[in-house]
Amino acid sequence: MQPNLSLALGSHAFTPLTMAGAYTALSNGGYRVEPFLVQRIEDSNGNIVYQQEAITVCANCEQVVSETAVKPAPRVIDEQNAYIIDDMLKDVIKRGTGHAATALNRPDIAGKTGTTNGPTDAWFVGYNPNITTAAWLGFDDNTLLGKREYGGTAALPIWMAFMREALRDLPIVERTMPAGLATVRIDPDTGQPASADRSDAIFEIFRSNTAADGLEPDTALDGSSSATSDGSGNVADDLF
């Protein structure tokens, strides 16, 4: 990746397969699983001449590895960060550029739209804990797509059509908030902890040690329940 100022905005080019692989680490809670195209190759007699090595995401890998011939997936994002990013990407669908995907009636889906200059490319990469899908729309020669073609209007409908069928018979998966996180009521206008009388406050997730200044002293920080704030803290400044 080129070290330029626009890198944080997504200016580097990646393939849809690479993007799907990256988002898989968010869908499974922080583990790297490399995508592959060929699972196995058999000869004319049915003998396996090639078998893709099994990479398994497991919470208790010591026991799984001892009982089966699998290779545990390495953790690349700690579980607190993975949970927070997942919650942010769910907001893309709840109230952001991916809002159309609420039509799937799946609270366990998350993702992000993407549109390049021109526009020449339109993306939506999203997931639920069982499957990650990248949808890309564009031309091989970077021909312009046309006006008003964006990730949320061009690529997202393709993603939705596929995921509607892929998730049809799969149950909704609710994530459990890991220890070390807290939920804080935030004022949507200021980004600061909301006062008790703010009825339109939104809930945001923070690391417990970061959110501590904005939480009531008797609030549990183990992630087991929602935390509230008396408005005295400065969570946003602490984050940055």
Residues 152-178: tens digit of each pLDDT: 999 999 999 999 999 999 999 999 999
State percent of the chain over pLDDT 90.
56
Average pLDDT, the chain: 84
Reported as a single tens digit per residue, the pLDDT across 17-60 is 999 999 999 999 999 998 888 999 999 999 999 998 878 887 76
Q: What would the two tokens of residue 175 be?
A: 């994530």
Distance of alpha carbon 175 from its chain centroid, rounded? 12
Query: Of 127, 133, 125, nearest to 110 (Cα)?
Result: 127
* Whole-model pTM over 0.95: no
- 157/17 Cα distance (integer angstroms): 19
Classify each residue of 68-99 as buried b or exposed e, where b means 16 or more C-beta atoms within 10 Å of its C-beta: eeeebbebebebbebbbbbbebbebbeeebbe
| d(C-alpha 232, C-alpha 130), whole Å | 40
Rounded to an integer, the average pLDDT of 99-127 is 94
CA 62 to chain CA mean position, Å: 26
DSSP 174: P
